[in-house]
Amino acid sequence: MNFLGAGYPLIFNYYLYCIIILIILFLSFGVYGIYSNKNGHFCVTQAPTSSNTSTSTNNISSQGLRRLLSFNNGTTNETGTDSNEDVCILDWVTVISIANKLDNPDDEQIQNYFAIIAEILIIIILMYFRKHQRQINNLVDEQTNTPADYTIMVSGIPIGLKCDYEIELRKLFETDPKTQKKYSVEKINLVHNTMEIEEFEKKLKKVVERKKKLLIKKSFNFEDQDIVKIDGEFEEIEHELNKLRMNMITSNEKFAGIAFISFSTEDGIFLL
């Protein structure tokens, strides 16, 4: 897809690295987290009562037992709220949640180590991602030809000279003054000052708007004298505009001192 430009290959490469990062996170951090969470014993299968507290103590750790006793006795926690609210009920969600291993700080510490490893791996992957993106961009740029690969912009050209700018610029850029190497100039585009043309185009737009309003007022009677008069005014402005455009092509009066020079090969752009 390099013929569409570098954007398409780069975006699909970005999607690929997003998937890789998600896989790395799951393998380096998520797998152990799910395993340790599932093997935890902090959450209980049901809300404990005085009748089942003794039967459930064999399946939980000492910290979980303290939480059960606190729940059964109706005591309050440090914040002053009822500790019954803090009991974790075991279900299909909490069985693999981090809450199920709150009674085992060692597992939490090990998972923190895995989190650090995952961060380091992501940093390394992002470094390769940036390098790969640049490689793809350079490869696509080499395989795709655009006008910018063969064209240079030259500014600061003296204006008001009585000469043919295209001929003089062609002579100047067809030969390297240092190495005397020859270059083939395909085309030279001169940049002209178009402010006067823009003024005529604005006048045309105003005439068109006036004609629209007048047509509505005259019930689209194209034979009305006012409509005919506006048509004549439009043709007069359009004639002056075309005359100005032709004069710009054939003369250098409106030359702005800027030219775009296109070469036959990419070597020409290194002339400057």
C-alpha to C-alpha distances, 146 to 11, 140, 149, nearest whole angstrom: 21, 11, 5
Q: Is the pLDDT of residue 124 over 90?
A: yes
pTM for the full predicted model:
0.45
**pLDDT of 49-61, one tens digit each?**
544 444 444 444 4
Mean pLDDT, all residues of the chain: 79
> What tokens appear for 263 in the block?
């070469």
pLDDT of 77 reads 47
Paired tokens of 134: 């640049």
What is the tens place of the pLDDT at every residue in 94-118? 777 877 777 778 877 888 888 898 8
* Tens-digit pLDDT profile for residues 138-165: 888 777 777 777 888 899 898 888 888 8
Which parts of 26-104 fold into alpha helices (H)?
31-38, 53-56, 62-73
Minimum mean pLDDT among 87-96, 162-171, 257-266: which range? 87-96
Mean pLDDT for the stretch of residues 65-70? 48
Q: Which pLDDT tens digit goes with each residue over 161-219?
A: 888 888 888 888 888 777 778 888 888 889 988 888 899 899 999 999 998 998 888 88
Pairing verdict, β 185-192 and 255-263: antiparallel
